[in-house]
Chains A and B, each alone.
Chain A
Amino acid sequence: MEHLKKDYSHIKGWGIDADPQNDPTYPMKPHRTDAEQSGYSWERPTQQPVDVEILHSIERPNISAVFGTASPPSGLSGVIRRFAFKYSENSYLHWLPLILADRVNVVEGIIDDMKHGHVPNIFEEKGYKAEWKHDKVGLLTKFAVAAALVAGVVVLLSKKNEDDYDEDDD
């Protein structure tokens, strides 16, 4: 307890919430009753009407009383999400398809934008304006690396095509 010889008066509120009982204790279970052991024993809130498709975890028997209605499943990503929700939260088959669905959903988002006559402004959506303002060198380096990678791939591919062509020649 050497530290306690120090003077902590310069730190506002030092020790104000010290609690020897919290070692470590929160949350302590309250006095539990048999009713609390028997699943959904509480008086459930009114059920929100289910007016959009809601996928629910198979680790619960129902849909929670309230839920969000943002972006219901649709398109190919929706098909993948429906597949994912056949598996429990304990399974890779739940989470990995969801990550895949998210990526598919990004492409669907771009197609949807185009369908509505909106060309996404990628530079702006990625917030590059802020990066240009505060870190020009970093942004230019990033673009240079990307350009070099693309150029490298193009060179490799065209070299391969040339080789194929040479082989055909032989």
Chain B
Amino acid sequence: MFEVDTLSFLNKAVKGTALVVDDTRINRLLLGKILGDIGYQVVFAENGQEAVELFQQQDIDIVFMDVLMPVMDGYQATAEIKRLSTPKFTPVLFVTAQNEVDALVKCIACGGDDILFKPVHQAVLKAKALGFERTKAIYSEISRLHNQLQEEEELAERVFSSAVANSHCADQELLVSLDSASTFSGDVVFAEYRPNGDIHVLLGDFTGHGLRAAIGAMPVADIFRGMTRKGYTGEAILRQINRRLHRLLPTGMFMAGIFVELSLQQKSLTVWNGGMPELVVYNTQQQGIRERLRSESLPLGIQNEVELKLKTLPWLPYDHVVLLSDGVTEALSASGEMFGEQRLVNAIANKAAHPSFIASIQHELQLFCMGTEQLDDISMVEIPDLLNRPNQQSTDIYKTGPLVAGQWSWSLKLDATSLKKFTPIPLLMTTLQELSVHQTDRNILFTVVSELFNNAFEHGVLGLDSAIKTSASGFEEYYRKRKHRAKQLTDGAVSIAIEFDGKQARQFTIKVADSGNGFEASLAAEKSAKQQYSGRGLRLVESLCESMEFNLQGNCVTAVYRCQH
């Protein structure tokens, strides 16, 4: 049985072209005859130099190499042939009479694949040749699979980029640097406008990197963009992302991230940090780091419901906000040392010599790493001093749409329990969109209604005094109190009613009432009451509307907005 198998193996035909390299004519003829008999086309070279030249000119499948030859010996020629044949596999077999250990080791060390001893036995030679054909087949299969994998990864990368990476709507406001360790980055950056021009930014870092890490990015992109455009708040968006990732990702995979809401009207920054390095706010007027916001929450996707700790702070002129992934501080130098926080702080302090904080950090990183292999994705986002820049986007993002006619009204009343759970603005925005209200009008209505609603909720229902917000420490105090009181809330209500008259005046009448005590009657009665309106919000509403009036008690406001489109 065994014998039959051996015979059938040796009866297989070998294929291809063999190159025989030997300086002795008789050796060439002998080996050539055997190779010809077992099925090879044979070509000859008299020394290493000739062999290399022939190898470059012809397709050679296997090489039989003598050791000692004039001009160029077998070791040198083999090294050269191996260099030329990569990434293909061309077996080189040394044919030698020597059997000293040193010489044998040298044959393999210079790139040879096997050794045959003179005199060469036909069956041994054929068996070895067939063995190498097997190895070659494995080699080419691996190389085919490798190419296929690369092609698929490139295709996936293109799909992924168009869905995730290359479409941050608000990215012209930001400086973004994404430097991934492989084709796919596990880090993602999204930026999008809310309907009132506020900007949401999210820097996310998925567990690990590569394709594994990138799969969570698509749903995050969809939720982030869709909900931001509809006017949802950061907290609602993060909750939704958390739920989706929890459902989608296997245990052990999650997304650390930093989220920032930049409110141009409130002049505030609302930040959430879940498992990322500190967010840094650097003020170029004060020439120093003004705020560092440490991670206070779990990353997203680990638990179904997660406690999100969002912090609101004032946004000052000359503020530059820097968001980083851990790839920055954990970048390694050639000696295995980590970049660390001190070097990062130094890079931030040395910004003056560079056009941006990112450029300064990149410069430091480059000097430190000196071409060491990058192990993790390195991502940075810088929000420049937007408050000192004329804001042009407000006109750019509006598109034209069909005109609305007809009449309709929409109203909603929320009690304390509902107010704790629900923000009515996104619902209203969806309604306005369905009713084909032009985007410009929708964005203005978003601002008007959200300002009036926040005013009713914060001052009317929660009884907060906006005078606290005038100082920086008071600002934080205000948002702490807001959170605390909202949690404790048991009584109170807010109602919103919107009427649209598209036939006559083409105007919206917005009425927002709350259960609070309102302004003091004496103040509201006077014309100068306008100056007493809490905060910038109401002044903004007044500037956008035809009219805005409070009732005598001050807990019900009616604003009239006339359509521009």
A joins B in a complex: no
Q: Which residues of A contact B (CB under 8 A)?
A: none
